[in-house]
Structure 1
């Protein structure tokens, strides 16, 4: 990969009433960005991790340059602390509903005002790893007319998530890319538990396969770390955002 990034990196801040604080945003815009055309949008929960550990701007930059990926604007939403992350992303925690409202009612209007975005849900992808993957999936299930694609690596899956999938009935157009590591059988979570992520993810696979969606599932030979997620991002991106 080239050392020089062709696209641009910037930051923005949005004052969120739902989160009751200012939320920092990390933004990548592709090279030759122009307000005269419309772009796909990729929103990454765990934004700082995606930008730094996942190196997603670099990966997208290269794939666009190689004409394998369509031009996309990436917006990373960092979490302020591990404790706050759990409150926002875990489907049974206190700020989960507020975070979903933030995504739909504050972040999307902000981005639509700031950038020329395609209006179709299929041009708006949510990405997340672990709990960030969980909240990305749940947001798309709840708001399928806003978010039409999900890229999730090793999401936490519990009964709340499985129930949400079983209740989903208006998501025919959804596209999901879902990966889990075969060694994720004893994952230490942010609240101190040690959980088997692999078996619940296989249950989620069976539930999602029952739906009329574009669903891609795979298992990699690895554990619950960015070492493996980073390597797989390219495949998820090319599956969901191929150059056409």
Structure 2
């Protein structure tokens, strides 16, 4: 495994971001699959991302040769909320940083044809992942959303989109409506809004795997679920996934 730490300056956000690049290969030849990970530091420390990535490279050695994970840390809890939440003062600036500064810089350095381009995030990290994808829907192939802390406004933006050619892995705990944000002190109704988001995805003909678990809004849940989410990305496009949840 190759783990490289970089610091990237954003003119939009007027600060630096810590970024980790994780790959199984030393270099790419002609093609690459890129997974952008929000809350990168937490995924490495709390989510055991590197361990899950190693297991993935053993299970899918051919795919792992072309796979690189870009793990972006948002800063402090307050900076995270301001960047990842639609109500945050840095929300638009973070979207510009991600799409106009971070991605072009790194993908130019990779110097490879991007075959799969995905986003992974937990809670508000999943929310900003969704919003990044909605900015340029045509360039994204995969979304991996763990307990996405979306709002009604985010879902309204999703409804405005036409048919989306995405592969989505969406998971949520059935007890997550209980969660209250430590920043805003709001109950986020995560389970309820994830069910609603799933139905919007189905309406947009998204290729989706939706998983509900008897879990709360905790890193322990996302850590244990991470290998399944990464497997969805590495295994390629899923077709005709059974619809086991009723949207009527």
TM over 0.5, shorter chain: yes
Q: TM-score normalised to the size of structure 2?
A: 0.88
Q: Is the contact made by 1:90 and 1:131 (CA closer than 8 Å) also made in structure 2? A: yes
- Residue 169 of structure 2 is aligned to residue 177 of structure 1: yes
Q: 1:89 aligns with which of 84, 96, 109?
A: 84
Q: 1:187 aligns with which of 175, 179, 182?
A: 179
Instruction: Give RMSD over aligned pairs.
Output: 1.7
- The answer to whether the 8 Å contact 1:144/1:170 transfers is no
- Contact kept, 8 Å, 1:69 with 1:237, in 2: the verdict is no
- CA separation of 1:27/1:166 partners in 2, compared to 1, >3 Å: closer, same or farther? same
- 4+ runs of 1 displaced by more than 4 Å? none
**In 2: Cα distance, 1:240 partner to 1:208 partner:** 17
**Alignment partner of 1:70: what SS?**
helix
User: If the length of structure 1 is used for normalisation, what is the TM-score?
Assistant: 0.90
Q: Which moved further from structure 2: 184-193 or 217-226?
A: 184-193
Provide the rounded CA distance (Å) in 2 between the counterparts of 1:143 and 1:92. Answer: 21
| Alignment-derived partner of residue 244 in structure 2 | none
Deviation at 1:183, TM superposition (A): 1.2
Alpha-carbon distance between aligned partners in 2 of 1:118 and 1:91, rounded to the nearest angstrom: 32
Deviation at 1:68, TM superposition (A): 6.6
Following the alignment from structure 2 to structure 1, what is the Cα–Cα distance between the partners of residues 29 and 141?
Answer: 24
8 A Cα contact 1:129 1:152, kept in partner: yes
Within 5 Å, give how 1:14-53 maps onto structure 2: 14-30=8-24, 32-53=25-46
In structure 2, the partner of 1:104 is 99
Extract unaligned runs of 5+ from structure 1.
Answer: 1-6
Q: How far is the alpha carbon of 1:131 from its aligned partner?
A: 0.5
Q: Are residues 1:12 and 2:6 paired? A: yes
Q: Which residue of 2 aligns with 1:217?
A: 210
Structure 1 residue 170, shift from structure 2 partner? 5.2
How many equivalent pairs are there?
Answer: 234
Q: Output the CA distance in 2 between the equivalents of 1:192 and 1:19.
A: 25
- The answer to whether the Cα contact below 8 Å between 2:60 and 2:234 also exists between their aligned partners in 1 is no
Task: Determine helix, strand or coil for the equivalent of 2:31.
Answer: coil
How big is the shift at 1:104?
A: 1.0
| 1:196 maps to which of 189, 193, 205 | 189
Q: Which moved more, 1:108-117 or 1:73-82?
A: 108-117
Residue of structure 2 equivalent to 1:132: 125
